[in-house]
Chain A
Amino acid sequence: MQPAVGDYIVFGLLAAGVIGGAVFTMTRRNPVTAVMSLVGTFFALAATYASLSAHFLAIIQILVYAGAIMVLFIFVVMILNREEVAPVALRGLGLRSLGVAAGIYLVIIFARIVRVNTPSDLPVPSETFGTVASIGDILFRDFLYPFEAISLLLLVAVVGGVVVSRSHKKEVAAEQAAERRKIVEELQRHDFPALADNAAEPHGSGGHH
């Protein structure tokens, strides 16, 4: 079966949405804008999935990706909100540009290969293709082990995330105390005992040495 005109239009729109959103994301300086456009890209992708009869996954895409992951990104962006002056990293730009060029070449070649090697007529999926029931069936039968494994992986990720982003208050305090001591010494050497007093005990009145 050959695709109809409407199919082409729909695909074209969706493709434009996806790629446009992606390009837009990658070129923003403001991280918040980038996150927002990424969300938009994900929506377009979900629609693309739906056009591939992957309905369940379309919904999951929106729920998990656009809903959960992007929220996480927003949180982090809020913590670290900084604007960039120049978006492109400067170190070794030549090599990396060459890498991008290689990527472009690869896309061209792969596109050609794929076009030659896949059938060009449209497949017609069955009634139950892409439904929740059939995917659930597969997940809990053939893919049970990966399913359980991935849940374990999520547990590991949660624990890992907590551990990695733990604040090291005690160590930070120790570091700061060490800093203060150094400053005190310097001042004492230069004979400024009054200032040293101040530096040693920043909050209360001067204590003993």
Chain B
Amino acid sequence: MPTYYYLTLSFVLFLVGTSGVLLRRNALIVLMGIELQLNAGNLAFLAFSRQLGDQKGHAFAFIIIALAAAEAAVGLAILVALFRSRQTINLDEASLMKR
């Protein structure tokens, strides 16, 4: 398929992930949305990599996956700590701001 199909797919996937990040209340779901965003980026990398015939894109995507793993681990650890301290992972309740 022409590259721009995959790119458009990547954009829409990113949009879905972002909407989740922006709109959801459960922190776990938000983290999952972030994973979707990262994967959308990966898809774009691979599409361009195929078009240009350059494997460096693959290597980069590989690095991104490793990065996502690290980030997920730390993010979940923070989430656990948040739960311990506030007894909730509901972002509305956990927030200390006035409004």
Residues of A whose CB lies within 8 Å of any CB of B are: 3, 7-8, 11, 15, 18-19, 22-23, 25-26, 28, 31, 34-35, 38, 41-42, 45, 48-49, 51-54, 56-57, 60-61, 64-65, 68-69, 72-73, 76-77, 79-80, 82, 84, 86-91, 93, 96-97, 99-100, 103-104, 106-107, 110-111, 114-115, 118-123, 125-126, 129-130, 134-135, 138-139, 142-143, 146-147, 150, 153-154, 156-158, 160-162, 164-165, 167
Decide: A57 and B61 in contact? CB cutoff 8 A: yes
Q: How many angstroms from the CA of A48 to the CA of B42 in the assembled complex?
A: 11
Q: Which of these, B46, B70, B99, contacts A52 with CB under 8 Å?
A: B46
B residues neighboring A (CB under 8 Å) = 1-9, 11-20, 22-26, 28-29, 31-33, 35-36, 39, 42-43, 46-47, 49-53, 55-56, 58-63, 65-74, 76-81, 83-84, 88-92, 95, 99
Whether B62 lies near A60 (C-beta < 8 A) is yes
Q: In the complex the two chains form, is A121's CB within 8 Å of B2's CB?
A: yes
A129 and B28 alpha carbons, distance in the complex (Å): 36
Among B5, B52, B58, B78, point to the contact of A56 (Cβ < 8 A): B58
The answer on a CB contact under 8 Å between B71 and A157 is yes
A26 with B29, Cβ < 8 A, contacts A45-B39, A99-B22 known: yes
Asked if residues A69 and B46 are in contact (CB atoms below 8 Å), the reply is: no
Are the CB atoms of B68 and A91 closer together than 8 Å?
no
Q: Which 5 A-B pairs have the closest CB atoms?
A: A157-B70, A26-B20, A161-B77, A89-B25, A165-B77
Which among B22, B67, B88 has the highest number of chain A CB atoms within 10 Å? B22
Pull 22 A–B residue pairs with CB atoms less than 8 Å apart, ordered by A: A23-B16, A26-B20, A31-B26, A45-B39, A53-B50, A54-B46, A57-B42, A57-B61, A57-B65, A65-B39, A72-B72, A80-B79, A84-B25, A87-B25, A87-B26, A89-B23, A96-B22, A96-B23, A103-B15, A110-B11, A114-B11, A160-B74
- Option from B17, B63, B95, B99 in Cβ contact (under 8 Å) with A150: B63
Given A57-B61, A73-B72, A100-B19 contact (CB < 8 Å): yes
Contact yes or no, A153 B32, CB < 8 A:
no
B46 lies within 8 A of A49 (CB): yes
Of A49, A51, A89, A97, the contact of B91 (CB 8 Å cutoff): A89
Chain A residue nearest to B17 (CB atoms) is A22
Contacts of A106 in B (CB 8 A): 11, 15
B59 and A138 form a contact (CB under 8 A): yes
Residues in A neighbouring B91, C-beta threshold 8 A: 89
Establish whether residues A86 and B29, one from each chain, have CB atoms under 8 Å apart when the complex forms: no
A63 to chain B, nearest CB (A): 9
* Cα A91 to Cα B99 with chains together (Å): 7
Given contacts A115-B4, A138-B56, contact A156 B62 (CB under 8 A): no
In the complex formed, the residue of B with least CB distance to A121 is B2
Cα(A130)–Cα(B54), bound, Å: 10
Please name all residues of chain B whose beta carbon is closer than 8 Å to the beta carbon of A97 when the two chains form the complex.
Answer: 23
